Structure 1
Amino acid sequence: MRVVFASWAWPSHLLPLTPLAWAFRAAGHEVLVATQPPLVGAVTAAGLPAVAVGSAMDHTRLLGSAMRPLHPDAAPAPAPAPVPAPGRRRRLGLSVRVAEDMVDGLARLCAAWQPSLVLHEPTTYAAPLAAASLGIAHAPVLWGVNFHDAARAHEAEAFAGLSARLGVDGFDSRGLVTVDPCPPSLQVPSAHPRLGLRHVPYNGPGVVPPWLRRPGRPDRPRICLTWGVSPHWANEDEHARAVEQQHRLIAALAGLDVDIVVATSSREAVDETRLPADVRVVERLPLHLLLPGCDLMIARGGAGSMMTALAAGVPQLCVPQYVSDLMPAERLAATGAALSLGDTPTDPEAVRDAAALMLRTPAFAGAAARLRAEAEGLPSAAAVVRRLTAMVSGAERPMGG
């Protein structure tokens, strides 16, 4: 069987698709990964064949209006959003622009290569549109907690123009089934059928450094501080804000008797001359290599970091920075495996005190271990490949069908 995986060019959206693409290849299926040109290198670095569709859009400019800071008064003003054309709705504006950029190239790819299935991350609407226009089965693959479901109320209207141009009637981005890596106790309930998938973290290629192969001091906990990759791809103001926020947190955490590892996509994002001598900065070290040796992760609540820590059984202290961080952080805190500082302005001393509380309270580690066990009980990628193949071939009715 031939399978197309599709994602627009945002790293944290592409990476969760990679292990499932590996599983399809390992089962003998042909796979192509379609993305916009800026992420073609990330696809090939993961050992997968890439096809560029669409253009090298200025995503940082578009995201200036889509990624809403929780505390705009404390942040530089975002770049002005593009003025919408008369009559165009603002809802799902970024997703519509990306779909317009990708859909024709993706439809041409599918028409020529004739895949049996198109799998996509949930905000790459070009994939279900192109697949539906050609009568190809399609399904979204979630990153983690499904905060996208509310967008369904606006999809038909937002994509009415593209649907009409492509001849798609009754557009539904959910497709056959939703492939879901999130443990049920963490996930948002949904009436749409879901196919559980054991999460295998992949945060990019990397080399395990020698210090990480040696056990740390059992009496000195290790904290990982990371904002993920998104702020490093955002506009300059948001990038600068994230850098300053990390420095303030590090200064506060340095008062604890802990090892601090700052995981960043670029050393330029951290002014190491301002850091205490015992703070370690790692550049492009994948979190799936780092977190198993950590006792706590402090992060903003992004899906990639959250799911990687979950799979490692590491408690999490969530410091939400964007509106989209809030709901996943709240869901995680409700499991007992995390604390979330919610939407209050971030006080470094409050973060330090919360971290100290979590490190001395065994219940957080216990809840994180239970959540990890729940995640490990979900079907393997190999099993999901078999189920999806059976659904597409007709050997198994689509779930809920």
Structure 2
Amino acid sequence: MRVLVTAALPSLLHPLVPLAWALRTAGHEVRVVGRPEVARAARTAGLVGVEAGDELTGAPWTAPGAAEAAAADPVVWTAGEPARAARVLAAHLPLLDHLTDDGVLEGVVTAARDWRPELVLWDAHALGGPVAARAVGAAQVRVLSGPDHWGRLVGSAVGGAEDGPDPLSAHLTARADRHGVACGTGRPVLGDATVDPLPGCLQHTQGLDHRPVRPVPYDGPAVFPAWLRKEPRRPRLLVTLGEPGLPAAPAAAGDPGPGVTVADVFAAVDALDVEVVATMDTGRIPPGTRIPHQVRLLDRLPAHLPLPYCAAVVHDGAPETLVTAALSGVPQLAIPGPRWGTAGVIDAVERAGAGLAADPAALGDQLTRLLEDPRLRSGAARLKEETAAGPSPRELVPGLEELAAGAAGRSADPSTPRPTTVTKGVRAA
């Protein structure tokens, strides 16, 4: 079986890599198609990369429409409000178009037409995946990297109507038409099935062919530091933060956010008898920030390496860090970062009894609780058990083979015949 994998960003490829490995070791051919940086990340992971389109210019969260998308946080809505859900979806369209622009979309579709995969795996932000699958009549499967905002919002936007219009599907269908692909009816943005590596407290299953999977942390190549093996003399705390200022959630989202900075975190740990491993881009630490003597500061260290040797973690609500912490069974203190959706992720951890949402007025007390409260340790242990209970990526392979076989008779889009050569813009990595 031929399997085409596509992702919008290298970081969004990471959750697909273990499943791609599982398919490859089962004897299937796998190619990863995406921007040059995605193709390079695939090659680093031991997979075949195919370039489509150009490198992404600028950080995705500073792209046109990103501010409007952040203000329309996909978590801040309630079921039964289809008009509001539709507005939130519409606010995210410019950002999704930026991640999968016309050059990338054309490149992914061309690669699919040239190679003819039977199965397309795509991260939920890579909207070239469902279009490419429709172009060749392949089965298509979304692989989530975070909570399924699109599934929840699409379901709410149509008010329960199975065939009602939703802005995301309508927008994708129109874009596909311009590239000569007829998406037909249904909801191409939700795939034939959805693979979900998140803990149950973050899963959305309604109306989906939902396939949970036990997450296998992957964050690119890494070297295990020897000092991690040494038993710490004091409790070891991991602090991993993506942005220096940790801006508050937008007021338009209904939550002003905690307003916690990197300096606040360092000041709080300075008063504790702990050993701290802090992973962040040192160039992003605000000038004048005092770094306590017990902090070991690293530019980069994948969280899955130090977490088994830590008593707790402080992070910025990134789903991948949450999942890795959950697998390690450590309590979490989460601070909403600049990406939308982190508030809902943090709320789910707190409800599960496995962590706390940051309170700037009580940060020191919260860190003490994180290290000493047996209830949080018990909650973290329960979350670990829940997260590890899913099937492994290898165990998902037979079901994916069946899905592809069931789509074998599906007609490819007849409007564009198979090209005899690979067109410009698609290059092997």
User: Which TM-score tier does this pair reach, normalised by the shorter chain?
Assistant: 0.7 to 0.9
Q: How far apart, in 1, do the equivalents of 2:138 and 2:319 lie?
A: 28
Alignment of 1:257-296 (within 5 A): 257-264=273-280, 266-270=281-285, 274-296=290-312
* Cα displacement (A) at 1:291: 0.9
Among the aligned pairs, what percent are the same residue? 32
Paired residue type of 2:354: A
Q: 1:331 aligns with which of 345, 348, 353?
A: 348
Is residue 5 from structure 1 mapped to residue 22 from structure 2 by the alignment? no
8 Å Cα contact 1:206-1:284 kept in structure 2: no
Match of 1:390 in 2: 402
Match of 1:82 in 2: none
Give the TM-score normalised by structure 2. Answer: 0.78
Alpha-carbon deviations, 1:85-135, whole Å to 9, x = none?
xxxx64421112333331110011111111110101111111111211221
Match of 1:31 in 2: 30
**Moved segments of 4+, more than 6 Å:** none
Q: What 5-or-longer segments of structure 2 have no aligned partner? A: 73-89, 155-165, 247-259, 409-429
Alpha carbons of structure 1 residues 394 and 172: separation in structure 2 relative to 1, 3 Å: closer
| Range with greater deviation from structure 2 (293-302 or 42-51) | 42-51
Match of 2:99 in 1: 98
Is residue 172 from structure 1 mapped to residue 171 from structure 2 by the alignment? no
Alpha-carbon deviations, 1:119-152, whole Å to 9, x = none?
0111111111121122111010111332332443
8 Å Cα contact 2:112-2:135 kept in structure 1: no
Q: 2:132 aligns with which of 125, 130, 148?
A: 130
Q: How far apart, in 2, do the equivalents of 1:274 and 1:27 lie?
A: 51
* Cα displacement (A) at 1:384: 0.5
8 Å Cα contact 1:117-1:392 kept in structure 2: yes
Alignment of 1:209-358 (within 5 A): 209-217=225-233, 220-228=234-242, 231=243, 245-264=261-280, 266-270=281-285, 274-322=290-338, 323-341=340-358, 347=360, 349-358=361-370
Q: How far apart, in 2, do the equivalents of 1:62 and 1:395 lie?
A: 36
Paired residue type of 2:6: A
8 Å Cα contact 1:263-1:285 kept in structure 2: yes
Give me the CA root mean square deviation.
2.8
SS at match of 1:159: helix
Q: How far apart, in 2, do the equivalents of 1:188 and 1:167 lie?
A: 28
Match of 1:75 in 2: none
Alignment of 1:15-164 (within 5 A): 15-60=14-59, 61-62=62-63, 64-65=66-67, 68=70, 90-99=91-100, 100-152=102-154, 153-164=166-177
Q: 2:383 aligns with which of 355, 371, 388?
A: 371
Q: How far apart, in 1, do the equivalents of 2:22 and 2:389 lie?
A: 18
Q: How far apart, in 2, do the equivalents of 1:335 and 1:169 lie?
A: 41
| Range with greater deviation from structure 2 (270-279 or 311-320) | 270-279
* Cα displacement (A) at 1:189: 4.2
Q: How far apart, in 2, do the equivalents of 1:65 and 1:206 lie?
A: 33
Paired residue type of 2:119: L
Q: What 5-or-longer segments of structure 1 have no aligned partner? A: 71-88, 235-243, 397-401
Match of 1:237 in 2: none
8 Å Cα contact 1:69-1:321 kept in structure 2: no
SS at match of 2:109: helix
Name which structure has the greater RCO, CA cutoff 8 Å, separation 6+. Answer: 2
Q: How far apart, in 2, do the equivalents of 1:12 and 1:354 lie?
A: 30
8 Å Cα contact 2:330-2:377 kept in structure 1: yes
8 Å Cα contact 1:147-1:327 kept in structure 2: no
8 Å Cα contact 2:8-2:35 kept in structure 1: yes
8 Å Cα contact 2:263-2:289 kept in structure 1: no
Matched residue pairs, number? 361
Q: How far apart, in 2, do the equivalents of 1:109 and 1:22 lie?
A: 20
SS at match of 2:5: strand
Match of 1:74 in 2: none
Alpha carbons of structure 1 residues 39 and 245: separation in structure 2 relative to 1, 3 Å: farther
